[in-house]
Amino acid sequence: MKFALIFLFLIPVCLVSCRKKSKILVHGIVFSTGTGNGLPNIEVQFYTIKDKLFSDKCNYLVTKTDANGNFSFPDVEIIDNGKYTYGLDVPYYSNSDYTMFGIGPIDIDIDDLSNNQILSVTATFKDLTILLPENVIVQYPDSFTATFENRIYHNYLPDNIWQLVRTPKSFHSTVIYPNNLSTNFPPYSIGWWHITFDKIKNGVQSVFQDSIYLGMGETKEYVLPW
């Protein structure tokens, strides 16, 4: 009698346990905060943690984004119970040309795993050198101010996606600059940088606007239109 009761008890337990396992497609895109476009060849990790108290029980699947920034993990086995945690991670990466500030690890609710996952990361260009034209000397009372602005993705205001950020704010002349002014910008976010050049030359003020695109790991020069 006891054996029969145990057998009857195990049958529903087994059926419930079997129903908790499934295979799904985990997919999404990794895009740049500086451009809004997908980034190619970026490593993405999908992790499964059986017990968060024990890091050695964490398993990883690894892939890379395609030319448009898309990634996918097909046939991922999911076990729907409280012991398992799932999520995505884009690791930090840096070399001599650029830095990519990753995102994660991000735990994802099981009900949301099959949704398109959108991951935003910030990558940098290598160097931007600002020059005055050859043989130009800016001398008082002549002067100029150049402001560089980059539009970046704002993560916390979804209704106000694009935000104008002045980084670096500006640089200007008040006395004499040598013939070869060279001002190097450190590695800021990739994307379109909008330039406002405000100059006073021979007592006349004029404003010139331009833009320059800086890609990941890219080095460029920009000559101010004096």
Percentage of the chain lying above the pLDDT 70 cut? 73
- What CATH superfamily is the domain 22-123? Carboxypeptidase-like, regulatory domain (2.60.40.1120)
pLDDT digits (tens, 9 = 90+) for 12-70: 544 444 447 889 999 999 999 888 889 999 999 999 998 766 555 688 999 999 999 99
- What is the C-alpha R_g of the chain? 27
Q: What is the per-residue pLDDT for 76?
A: 94
User: pLDDT tens digit string along 90-132?
Assistant: 999 999 999 999 999 999 999 999 999 999 998 999 888 888 8
Dihedral (CA of 37, 41, 47, 53) sign: negative
Domain ranges in the chain? 22-123, 127-223
174: helix, strand or coil: coil
pLDDT at 174: 47
Please name the amino acid found at residue 64.
K
Tens of pLDDT, residue by residue over 166-199, are: 656 666 654 444 444 556 666 688 888 888 889 9
Beta-carbon count within 10 A of 214 CB? 25
Q: Say yes or no to pLDDT of 134 above 50.
A: yes
Residue 209's pLDDT is what? 92
DSSP per position, 148-169? EEEEEE-TT-TTS-EEEE-SS-
The pLDDT of residue 27: 98
pLDDT at site 185: 65
